[in-house]
Chain A
Amino acid sequence: MGITDNILKRIGLGKPSGDQPVTFWSKNRGWLLLAITGAVFAAYPFLPFISDYWIDVAFFVGVYALLGLSLNIVLGEVGLFDLGHTAFYAIGAYVTAILNTTLHIPIIVLLPLSALIAAGFAYLVTSPVIHLKGDYLCIVTIGIGEIVRLTMINNPFNLTGGPNGINGIGGPNLFGLAINSSTQFYFYTWIIIGVIVFGLIRLQHSRIGRAWNYIREDATAAEASGVDVRSYKLLAFVLGAAIAGMAGNIYASKQMSISPGSFTFIESSLLFCIVLLGGLGSIPGSILGAVVVVVFPEVFRQFASYRLLFFGLALMLMMIFRPGGMWPRKREGTGLDGLGIRGLPRNDEDLILLGKPDPAILKPATTAVVRGVRLPPVTVPMDEEMLLQTHGVTLKFGGLTAVNNFDLNVRTGKITSLIGPNGAGKTTLFNMITGIYKPTSGQIDFLGRDITGLKPHTIISYGIARTFQNIRLFPSLTCIENIMSGPHCHARSGTWAAVMHTVAEVREERDIVATAAYRLDEVGLWSYRNELAKNLPYGKQRYLEIARALATAPHLLILDEPSSGLNDKESEDLMVLLQSLVKEGFTLLLIEHDMQVVMGISDWVAVMDMGQKIAEGLPKDVYNNQRVIEAYLGKEDD
């Protein structure tokens, strides 16, 4: 990357930096780079020393680049261990081969069709297993890959031709232009890749791409910030499979014959290498990775039996000396431009101002429409004063009752604190309110709706946001990207809108950045907007997490020990911030150990011990309550 930058700078196409005058070159840098890349690609087959062999190699680089890009969605963007990606490639190839040789459907029609069928297949096989974690999902994908390959070998219904595979597949025909020479295939493939890369870049810089990254960074935090983790994981698999299916179509039509030998586990692991060699989540990286994986063994083809030995060695060396990949996606230091969002006000103040919410949307209403999310109708008779009520909520883990028959009332516009010794079950109660655990019995009402057992991302869209006891940010994303997860649950643009940059999508994206900017400024972190979250000092990370919760425009903000790890000065600042939030119209519920904070700002305090409520009332009453003192002192006696 450093080299590329230097070279670009020398030819006048370097990134614009402050001390250089804006020239024609620096202004149109993106377009010029695109034009140069295009020209190199177009000229490649006509270079004097490029034979058909090298054009074919470039074609195969293309096929593997497509596969790398498709796996990059699943593995790079979402971080799902997929070591059976070849299954979707195989499905695409076999669909093409079978339908072309039996029903004589033209290859070009089969291109979208094989993508569609591969995508459908991916949906069917991954939806029952998508909830599995890391390595368990990994072996399942390996299993799917092997099942597909073995099924092809076993020739069910005489469809797949067994180990021999299928031959006599036709070539694509573009409106009368038959594609069959190496050069034609080269252009055909790389033009398709161009289109797909265009779409993928747009997706990467949309709420969908960001949602994928949130899941990769921390799935629980993503879910708690309003990302429908399951659906986005499935979407990644489906999109990835669709692109892999296309690659299968292209491969089959070029090769003219296919057999299960091309779809082995080793192929899947090569794809894995492509994505990691290039850099996780990096589009140019995936293409570069494909170049290495295809060209490297070609260059060493002369060494015959030693070439794979070198290849294995090279893989290890790459991971030792460039563990992040050859062309990792750069996030920090790119400025807000790096978000790739159009129509942002040039001026910081304007942007922040644009994100200031209309006070009306923060006001809890019985028929509220919060930024596009229409809440279900009121079903539970509610006290106007009460924002949240739990009725007899109980949670049992096996024989252990973590929370027992707990009633909690949170008044609108007030700060309610939940205190109690460690292990009393406070966080568990929070986890039930926010949907991470499902109560064994009891009911939770919010704004007159029964929210018991709903998914976290649904609950958050109704207006309950939270922070975590041990901060859970998206460590490798920038601060502004972290906060942009907040408005996610209220945005509506889908995949298609993101790729096409529809008017509504562009506006929505702009609003998301603006809201994030406003909240970032509110907690005093605006100057850190382009830093990675993990590089922030601890105290600032707390604020960032609060800002992220605020950006969901919640009615109720639940904070789990917000002052833990803060020094006295920071705690005081925090109290000021919390009080200003109440003024702004938020309702707060906190777990807190710092009695100074609790007594200083709470309007109401509930005390929990051993899963049960032992006292509740005004701070000063609770402070003198005998049972409470016993509970705490008893704990300290241990």
Chain B
Amino acid sequence: MRKTVSVLLVCMLAAVLFLSGCAKKTGDTGPIQIALQAPITGDYAYEGQMAKQSVEVATELINKAGGVLGRQIAVTVVDDGSNPKDSAIAAQKAVSLKVVAVIGSYGSSVTEPAEDIYEKNKMVSVGYGCTALRLTVDKKPNYFFRTCGRDDAQGLFFAKYAVETMGAKRIAIMHDNSTFAKGVAEEAKKALQPYVDAGKCEIIYYDAVTPGEKDFSAAVTKLRNTQPDVWYYTGYYTEAGLLVRQARDAGLTCPFIGGNAAINDDFIKIAGIDVAKGCLMTQEPLVTDVTTAISEQFRTLYKEKFGDVPSSPWPVYAADALYAIVGAIKNANSIESDAIATAMHTNMTGVEGVTGAIKFTAIGDREDVPYKMYEVTADGKYVVHQQ
């Protein structure tokens, strides 16, 4: 009996292996295949799953509008489990599926091995949640792009805002030791350096908390005792919500500024509206603040399908990545990687995503990602902060 079961299992495994070996090739007809590499499981599963939903919505919108080059598009998801090893295999899987281009991925250290593989295989990939400088600045890739901003832009925006607009003298920076949060924190520190040298401010606190934990009272007590004028937290919204609440409980009253991973409806839920009210966030324009037609359609359809707009900004960039790829295919009038890459670098006229026009620099960064300071209102909404 057991033997029969084992034999059956082996046969099934072999069959699955064989079937998944037969890649769906993009020929001259049928839908254009695009892959989405995202963390469907693992620590950032919520981001990956929302990215999947966003891309589904964008795909439906594009296909309804006639697709591209007269063909429909189809998106296959490969899960990278939020970790670098799986990312390499997932990327290789996407390559073996012979897709035209890839959207992905979330997290810089997860994206990095995938970027190398796509680059080696001359396959266009567009990151949507990977903000470390080195992905583009160090590597100068030919086939890699990203629709999200870069750590340094955000860091610079924060530094300027904190010192020049708010007039803060004593600045505290806190991160969570994740690739992303530490990246932004370090860029912010770097951007503050000229002000420090000029004697305009000082960094009185720079430390990390451990993500996944719930109690940060030790850290906020220490922070409170440094008496900061402003407090910048670059990590994710769960910890941000906990931190703000525990800080207020400990009697820390200075303004809280979160990074763009902190902006999320759940931040308000976790912190509680009494505490969240008035918190600030450095952030690229949110989907709700973009008034283009695409944004409108996207929001409507997303709400229709999944009940609400994405609660985090990142999934929207995944949709943008799809728009960028489709736009480049259209402008290049080809599904060849080189042509798409060239179009992305040089010819993105008329390409619009959910968050507005999309253009890339020579190393693949998105041009003109504006940052804005968002504020939590008393009724739990994020609006652009008016001085």
Contact = CB atoms under 8 A, between A and B. Distances in A.
Interface of A: 2-3, 49-54, 56-57, 60, 153-154, 162-165, 167-168, 182, 251, 254-259, 261-262, 264, 295, 297-299, 301-302, 304-305, 307-308, 321
Nearest to A299: B16
Contact of A257 (B20, B82, B84): B84
Interface in B74-128: 77-79, 81-86, 88-90, 92-93, 95-97, 108-110, 112-113, 116
A261 B41 contact: no
Given A164-B183, A255-B84, A262-B83, A299 B45 contact: no
Interface stretch (B142-150, B174-182, B255-263, B360-368): B174-182
Nearest to A266: B83
B182 A167 contact: no
B21 A163 contact: no
Given A2-B3, A3-B7, A261-B84, A53 B93 contact: yes
> Chain A at the B interface: mostly helix, strand, loop or mixed?
helix
Given A304-B77, A321-B2, A51 B23 contact: yes
Interface in B17-46: 17-18, 20-23, 40-41, 45
B213 interface: no
Given A56-B89, A164-B183, A168-B138, A299 B84 contact: no
A3 B1 CA distance: 12
Contact of B21 (A2, A51, A162, A164): A51
Contacts of A56: 88-89, 92
A163 B116 contact: no
15 contacts: A49-B21, A49-B22, A51-B23, A51-B96, A52-B95, A54-B17, A167-B112, A167-B134, A257-B112, A259-B112, A297-B81, A299-B13, A301-B90, A304-B52, A305-B40
Given A3-B7, A53-B96, A301-B79, A164 B89 contact: no
B219 to A, nearest CB: 15
B253 interface: no
Closest A-B pairs by Cβ, 3 of them: A53-B96, A49-B21, A51-B96
Interface string B152-186: 00000000000000000000000001110011000
Given A298-B89, A299-B17, 19 more contacts: A49-B22, A51-B23, A53-B92, A53-B97, A54-B96, A56-B88, A162-B179, A163-B177, A163-B183, A251-B85, A255-B113, A256-B116, A257-B109, A257-B116, A259-B109, A295-B13, A299-B16, A307-B41, A307-B79
B40 A182 contact: no
Contacts of B112: 165, 167, 257, 259
B138 A308 contact: no
Contacts of A50: 21
A182 B92 contact: yes
Contacts of B77: 304
A52 B96 contact: yes
B21 to A, nearest CB: 4
A163 B182 contact: yes
B341 interface: no
Contacts, number: 115
Contacts of B78: 301
A2 to B, nearest CB: 6
Interface of B: 2-3, 6-7, 13, 16-18, 20-23, 40-41, 45, 49, 52, 77-79, 81-86, 88-90, 92-93, 95-97, 108-110, 112-113, 116, 132, 134, 138-139, 177-179, 182-183
A308 B83 CA distance: 14
Given A60-B85, A60-B89, A182-B92, A257 B21 contact: no
Contacts of B110: 261
Contacts of B13: 295, 299
Contacts of A307: 41, 79
A168 B139 CA distance: 8
A49 B17 CA distance: 9
A305 B85 contact: no
Contacts of A304: 40-41, 52, 77, 79
B79 A259 contact: no
B117 to A, nearest CB: 9
B95 A164 contact: no
A256 B135 CA distance: 13
Contacts of B113: 255-257
B64 to A, nearest CB: 25
B327 to A, nearest CB: 27
B54 to A, nearest CB: 15
Contacts of B109: 163-165, 257, 259, 261
B41 A54 contact: no
B257 to A, nearest CB: 21
Contacts of B79: 301, 304-305, 307
A259 B81 CA distance: 15
Given A49-B22, A262-B83, A255 B88 contact: yes
B89 A57 contact: yes
Contacts of A52: 92, 95-96
A108 B23 CA distance: 35
B182 A162 contact: yes
Contacts of A256: 113, 116
A301 B38 CA distance: 12
Contact of B177 (A153, A295, A299): A153
A307 B42 CA distance: 11
A48 to B, nearest CB: 9
B14 to A, nearest CB: 10
B45 A305 contact: yes
A83 B234 CA distance: 32
A54 B134 contact: no
Contacts of A299: 13, 16-17, 20
Contacts of B86: 297
A259 B139 CA distance: 17
Contacts of A264: 83
A183 to B, nearest CB: 12
Contacts of A295: 13
Contacts of B97: 53
Q: Give the most central of B49, B82, B113, B134: most A CB within 10 Å.
A: B113
Nearest to B10: A3
A261 B83 contact: yes
B78 to A, nearest CB: 7
A305 B49 contact: yes
A259 B84 contact: yes
Contacts of B182: 162-164
Contact of A164 (B7, B20, B108): B108
Contacts of B49: 305
A338 to B, nearest CB: 24
Nearest to A57: B89
B138 A167 contact: yes
A301 B6 CA distance: 22
A278 to B, nearest CB: 15
Nearest to B21: A49
B88 A3 contact: no
A518 B266 CA distance: 76
B185 to A, nearest CB: 10
Contacts of B82: 261
A302 B94 CA distance: 12
B179 A163 contact: yes
B92 A262 contact: no
